[in-house]
Structure 1
């Protein structure tokens, strides 16, 4: 069952992630990330494009794939605030949103679509923090709903397909906290560290 109104949770996750992105230095875009094969620059490009795509979906124009394309030089902080503003529209939760990156013709109820965005930015916030060697804490009032959304993401062979949103599930350590359970279920290794040069 989707969270009744995930927008406040999403806004916090998005702004936390944006603050971490803003902490990157001039040499950091080339750093490897927990997203296999992606540098920090690749990841930030993806984050920015997803914000633009979800914002367009909230405004009724999500089916146009141009909104989901990575645009070099796009302003991540502006895109983050844009999607928060788009989701704030009173009717968003009651509409179906077009999310073509989930497949041709994919449409989801607004509350569920915002929940997808929320869990993405919980995890991507961790990705950016881990890439930069910065601390990342998931507040208790975000942890429970984020875990609920994460555990609703199905497993299966589609997770091994090119471009899959999440890698195959990993086993969580016994007694793992909510964040580590989220990361493991969505294919991350909670203990990931950047590869050392040389």
Structure 2
């Protein structure tokens, strides 16, 4: 039996805590097309897609995102599904998952006016290493704006977000 990467598991717990504290699902995020609720709905789909991909199932990353009535519960269930895929010993691209989830942790923190300072910087550092090695200008598509200069005092999450084209 394989267990989930400790850094990824910690980030999932942190995201679950952050989602549980959201009091305005309509708060604007740095992703122009998503408010906080739509961002969390997207995270739920991400987790389900990661788990499905690990199981060898066909994944449609462009599929429409459903709205969840209880977003915190939907995220917790999807996180457990991803943990189960790891428990089954399935191969995963952990650092890709960290890049995606850590970027959106920064987005959610920006939307809710909270800080990423209490999140494990290793998650964002590993995610940034993966993203900076794999997200070329040609592969940015419409999901990622060109990289921007991070703030001088940016933590690992801020540097990752800046590389993904986010600005505070």
**Do both proteins adopt the same fold according to a TM-score greater than 0.5, normalized to the shorter chain?**
yes
Rg bigger for which structure?
1
1:37 to 11, 33, 39: 33
Long gaps (5+) in structure 2:
none
Corresponding residue for residue 8 of structure 2 = 10
1:168 to 142, 146, 154: 146
- Runs (4 or more) in structure 1 with deviation over 6 Å come to none
Corresponding residue for residue 97 of structure 1 = none
Distance 1:87 1:167, change over 3 A: farther
Q: Is the 8 A contact 1:6 1:115 kept in 2?
A: no
Corresponding residue for residue 46 of structure 1 = 42
Inter-partner Cα distance in structure 1 for 2:4 and 2:51: 15
Q: Is the 8 A contact 1:155 1:168 kept in 2?
A: no
Q: Is the 8 A contact 1:55 1:86 kept in 2?
A: yes
Higher RCO (C-alpha 8 Å, min separation 6) = 2
Q: May I ask how many residue pairs the two structures share in their alignment? A: 161
Give the TM-score, by structure 2 length: 0.80
- Tell me by how many angstroms 1:44 deviates: 1.1
RMSD of aligned C-alpha atoms?
Answer: 2.6
- Tell me by how many angstroms 1:51 deviates: 0.9
Corresponding residue for residue 136 of structure 1 = 116
